[in-house]
Amino acid sequence: MGMTMTEKILARGAGRESVKPGDLVLAKVDFAMGHDLTIPPAGRIMREQMGAEKIWDPDRVAVTQDHFQPAKDAASATLGRLTREFSHEMGIKWYFEVGQGGICHTVLPEHGLVLPGELVVGADSHSCTYGALNNFATGIGSTDLACVLALGELWFRVPETLKFVYHNRLKEWVEAKDLILYVIGQIGVDGARSKAMEHVGEALKHIDMEARLTITNMAIEAGAKNGILEFDEVTKKYLDGRAKRAYTPVTSDPDAVYEKVFEFDVEKVELGVAKPMSPDNYAPLSEVAGTRLDHHRHIPRRRRCVDDRHLRRVPGRAHGSAR
């Protein structure tokens, strides 16, 4: 029986000839990512609870100063400091300081660190983004990241795969975000729960890598374990001169088994939006054009100071100051 791209990557990581959905495997990780929210607890668990003093491979880990940079308060600054200290102490090669990196899900692809055929984990739910580059990429928690940092491997349940086939081409001005919101609107936010979303079809050959990353970034919004695309000339062109390691792409076998196959004529997809309060509450822009939008900023009661004209800051407290 043939295997999907996701199954092939997990089989290779586990050192097995084949796997099937539902199998539990202990697989070697090719690359791992953490940031200023997840590295501090992962480092503490690794050292204090696992007794590990070194990470498995300093060249196969990336750490970014990401979520709270520049720091908004003392607690955020402390997370940044702990992340910096851990990265330097562990000799992590791909450490991105404030001003050098940015959002982890763009930094890693741009630096050629997540590659076709690899098993990638990141301590952030949107780590599924990297699957646009033909790899298995999924988000994990800080505890699992601690295990990966110390051991270089992790348990996985092989997911069932849903296949999404896209025909024709997107209309002018319609983008990848419109497409994936439309898809999630069709299947729901739990429509791919714990499954792999495999995206294929002619339509994808006409969009660039940034657009593909947008599609796989949203896998978690459908509850998926990962999103993955085929390797093609667009992928190769993006990685030429960028990839930091040799890589081996994967393809799904002709007789691979899918739990379900969805087919879409993307030429019919319109500009769209996700209405409050869920990504699957999709509507074509034509249906909501002209709708009044109201934005309310919640101000905690203890900081609220009102006169007859406007809201103003509480006297004596500097805006954004750390206490």
Residue 293 lies in a domain: no
> Which tokens go with 154?
């992790």
For residue 199, give the nearest of 247, 266, 132 by alpha carbon: 132
CA angle 137, 174, 286 (to 5 degrees): 120
User: Domain with 197 in it: what CATH number?
Assistant: 3.30.499.10
Check residue 308 and give its pLDDT.
Answer: 33
Instruction: List the single range of 38-47, 116-125, 248-257, 314-323 with lowest mean pLDDT.
Output: 314-323
Residue 45 lies in a domain: yes
- Alpha-carbon distance 93 to 6, whole Å? 28
Residue 296 lies in a domain: no
Mean pLDDT of 40-49: 98
DSSP for 111-140? TT-S-TT-EEEESSGGGGGGGGGSSEEEE-
Check residue 299 and give its pLDDT.
Answer: 53
Instruction: Determine the structural domain holding residue 114 and report its residue range.
Output: 5-287
Confidence band of 298 (pLDDT split at 50, 70, 90): low
Q: Who's near 212: CB < 8 A, 6+ residues apart?
A: 132, 176, 204, 229, 234
Check residue 101 and give its pLDDT.
Answer: 75
Alpha helices in the chain (DSSP H): 5-14, 39-44, 74-90, 104-110, 142-151, 176-187, 209-217, 233-239, 285-288
Q: Is the pLDDT at 192 greater than 50, yes or no?
A: yes
Confidence band of 297 (pLDDT split at 50, 70, 90): low
Question: CA torsion angle for 103, 68, 101, 97 (degrees, to 10)?
Answer: -160
Residue 299 lies in a domain: no
Instruction: List the single range of 44-53, 66-75, 90-99, 162-171 with lowest mean pLDDT.
Output: 66-75
pLDDT averaged over every residue in the chain: 92
Check residue 68 and give its pLDDT.
Answer: 86
Residue 125 lies in a domain: yes
Confidence band of 302 (pLDDT split at 50, 70, 90): very low
Strand, helix or coil for residue 110: helix
Helix 209-217 / helix 176-187 crossing angle, nearest 10 deg: 20
- Alpha-carbon distance 12 to 127, whole Å? 20
The count of structural domains within the chain is 1
Please tell me which residue, 22 or 313, carries the higher pLDDT value: 22
Around Cβ 218, how many Cβ atoms within 10 Å?
A: 24
Could you read off the pLDDT of 10-33 as tens digits, one per residue?
999 999 999 999 999 999 999 999
DSSP for 201-263? SGGGGGS-HHHHHHHHHGGGGGT-SEEEE---HHHHHHHTTT-SS--------TTB--SEEEE
Q: Is the pLDDT at 52 greater than 90, yes or no?
A: yes
Q: Exposed e or buried b for every residue in 263-279, given b needs 16+ CB within 10 A?
A: ebebeebeebbbeeeeb
Could you read off the pLDDT of 55-91 as tens digits, one per residue?
999 999 999 999 888 899 999 999 999 999 999 999 9
Q: Is the pLDDT at 239 greater than 70, yes or no?
A: yes
For residue 118, give the nearest of 253, 25, 34, 5 by alpha carbon: 5
Confidence band of 294 (pLDDT split at 50, 70, 90): confident
Mean pLDDT of 227-246: 98
Q: Which residues does residue 122 pair with via DSSP β-bridges, in sequence order?
A: 33, 139
What are φ and ψ of residue 56, in 5° steps?
Answer: -65, -35
Residue 303 lies in a domain: no
Q: What is the pTM of this model?
A: 0.90
Residue 31 lies in a domain: yes
Around Cβ 285, how many Cβ atoms within 10 Å?
A: 13
Residue 108 lies in a domain: yes
Q: Is the pLDDT at 168 greater than 90, yes or no?
A: yes
